[in-house]
Every structure is written in C-alpha cells, then in structure tokens.
Amino acid sequence: MKLNFTGISDPGLIRSNNQDAYYIDPEGRFFIVADGMGGHAGGEEASRIATQEIQTYLLANWQSPKSSPKLLEQALLEANAAILQDQQTHAERADMGTTVVVVAFREPDSPWCAHIGDSRLYRLRESQLQQITDDHTWVARAIKIGDITADEARVHPFRHVLSRCLGREDLHQVDVQPLDVNIGDRLLLCSDGLTEELADHKIADYLQNTPLLDKAAISLVEAAKDQGGHDNITIVIITLEENS
C-alpha cells in the first residue's frame, strides 16, 4: 500500500492568528492535526506543544515493542503532561488546551487513530463519507441520547463546549481505534474550522471530485472561507493507493 498525502492550515477570515497546528511525517508514518484554545498566545502554544510532543514520542518509540494503541495513547498523555507543565510556569496560559487527532500507519495495512476533542477523522470510500471519530462535545453527547438532532447541533450555542481536551488534569482516557482502510480510500483529518462551515456532503464532493490532493485541500479551505471562514482551518488528506 502506498500513501499520498498533503496538508494545509489557514487562519480563516476572522481570526488574526492561527491556533491550529499540524504535522505530517515525511515518510508517511503518522499524521497530526491539533486545534488550540485559550486566548491568542495560549491556543497557539497548546497546539504547538501537542504536535511537537506527539511527534517526538512517536519517533522515539516507533520501533518499541509497545502495541500501536498503547503507543498512541501514551503519546497523547505525554502531550497532555507537557501542556500542564507549561500552564504551571506561564500563568497567562493557565487555561490553554487543544484538541488533537492522530493517524499512525505503524503496520501499513492496519493503521490506528487516536483523538481527543472535536478535530475529526473522516474516510471517503467511493462516494460515501463517514466520520470515524466521535466528537468529545456537549452537543455530540446530546445527539447520542436523543436530546437534540444533528441539524440542531450545527447551530446550538453549546456546540463548541468540549467534554475532553488536552491540557486538563482530569484527562485519563484517550480514544484509540483501529482503522478499516482499502485501496482507493481517502482519509481527512481536520479542525472544526472546516466542519463548522461545510456540511459533510459538501466535504465529500470536494474530496471525491478533486483528484489532485493539493488542489482538494486548497478547494476545501476556500469553500470554508466562502461560507464565512470564522475559525482557523486545517486539513490533512491521505490517499491509499496500490504500490507501483
């Protein structure tokens, strides 16, 4: 299996700074998207720390005997600890935090995903787009128990309230799951600056109908900005192809 991939991050049209961060391993082993929060400096620092710590941990332990789920879980917990340490030494960033979604191809045919918060992983298979991760938000839980509908959630005043993120003392659980992938699938990691502006069917249209990855990523960003671009927008796209 061969991977092609690209990434892009844009501040959008309203924010003066970009609190998102992403990292793509040059060898295509793992991919990270993080969306920081906690003020102008705090959000940027939280997402930067998260991507840096996860990258460092994965590279240092890639060949270790740890299972992929344990490796990813520990990487995110290490990132959480680093953010907490920074909070303690910089009072101005005491409330910072970040979401994160990570995909790792440690065993090429058996990738895994870990996430915290509402940055998402999608899979496009043929013409069907599926959200793989579950948002750790108040509205996601309300949808699950039937209190509100998905349409209501898109405009709900609590839609940005996270139930889990990096940068919290009470973080003890990381969602880690195996990924079902086939040749021809496209994976999309993204911050909520994309999903707040574009419904899933619109995202699917751009992923399916734009063969060139760089162009697909740029088109998604521009489409989100056309809808208002109220938040930072970060996108990583991975295509799974036959080995040539």
Calculate ∠ Cα 188-192-193, nearest 5°: 100
Distance CA 29, CA 234 (A): 19
Asked, for residue 142, whether it belongs to a domain, the answer is no
**Structure pTM?**
0.94
Asked, for residue 145, whether it belongs to a domain, the answer is no
Q: Is 159 helix (H, G, I), strand (E, B) or coil?
A: coil
Asked, for residue 163, whether it belongs to a domain, the answer is no
Which of these, 53, 52, 47, 56, lies nearest to 96 by C-alpha position? Answer: 47
Q: Give me the helices (H) in 90-232, please.
A: 138-144, 150-155, 192-195, 200-209, 213-226
Asked, for residue 8, whether it belongs to a domain, the answer is yes
Asked, for residue 15, whether it belongs to a domain, the answer is yes
Average pLDDT over residues 59-77: 97
pLDDT in tens, 100-152: 999 999 987 799 999 999 999 999 999 999 999 999 887 777 767 766 667 66
pLDDT for the residue 196: 92
pLDDT for the residue 222: 98
Are the C-beta atoms of residues 54 and 76 closer than 8 Å to each other?
yes
Domains held by the chain: number: 1
pLDDT in tens, 149-186: 676 666 666 667 788 999 999 998 899 999 999 999 99
> The domain spanning residue 79 has which CATH number?
3.60.40.10
Q: In which domain, by residue range, is 203 found?
A: 2-133+172-241
Distance CA 189, CA 54 (A): 16
Asked, for residue 138, whether it belongs to a domain, the answer is no
Average pLDDT over residues 179-195: 97
pLDDT for the residue 163: 87
pLDDT in tens, 3-38: 999 999 999 999 989 999 999 999 999 999 999 998
pLDDT for the residue 109: 79
pLDDT for the residue 203: 98
Which of these, 223, 236, 127, 125, lies nearest to 180 by C-alpha position? Answer: 125
Asked, for residue 152, whether it belongs to a domain, the answer is no
Asked, for residue 35, whether it belongs to a domain, the answer is yes
